[in-house]
Amino acid sequence: MGFSTDAIHAGQKPDPVTGAVITPIYQTSTYAQEELGKHKGYEYGRTHNLTRQSLEANIAALEKSKYGVAYSSGLSATHALMGLVKAGDHIIVSDNVYGGTYRLFELIMKDFGLEFSWVNTNDVNNIEGAVKENTKMVFLETPTNPMLNLTDLAMSAEVCKKNNLISVCDNTFMSPYFQNPLAFGIDIVLHSETKYIGGHSDVIGGILLTNSDEIHKRLRYIQNAVGAIPSPFDCWLLLRSTKTLAVRMERHNSNAIVVAKFLTESGIAKKVYYPGLASHPHHELAKKQMRGFGGMISADFGDVELAKKILKNVKVFTLGESLGGVESLISHPASMTH
Q: Is 335 exposed, middle or buried (0-12, 13-18, 19+ CB in 10 A)?
A: exposed
How many other C-beta atoms can be found within 10 angstroms of the C-beta atom of residue 332?
A: 16
Helices of type H across 82-201 = 99-102, 124-130, 153-162, 175-178
Q: Distance from first CA to last CA of the chain, Å, rounded?
A: 39
Q: Where are the beta strands (DSSP E) in the chain?
A: 67-71, 90-94, 115-119, 135-141, 166-170, 188-192, 206-210, 271-273, 298-300, 318-319, 329-330
- Integer Cα distance of 209 and 112 in angstroms: 25
Strand, helix or coil at 318? strand
Amino acid at 134: N
Between β-strands 271-273 and 298-300, what pairing exists: parallel, antiparallel or unpaired?
antiparallel
Residue 14, Cα to own-chain centre: how many angstroms?
A: 29
* 120 contacts 92 by C-beta, under 8 angstroms: no
- Integer Cα distance of 233 and 23 in angstroms: 11
The set of catalytic residues is: 46, 98, 170, 195
- Integer Cα distance of 291 and 286 in angstroms: 8
- Integer Cα distance of 219 and 15 in angstroms: 28
- Integer Cα distance of 249 and 44 in angstroms: 36
- Integer Cα distance of 153 and 150 in angstroms: 9
Question: Around 114, how many Cα atoms within 13 Å sit in the side-chain half-sphere?
Answer: 22
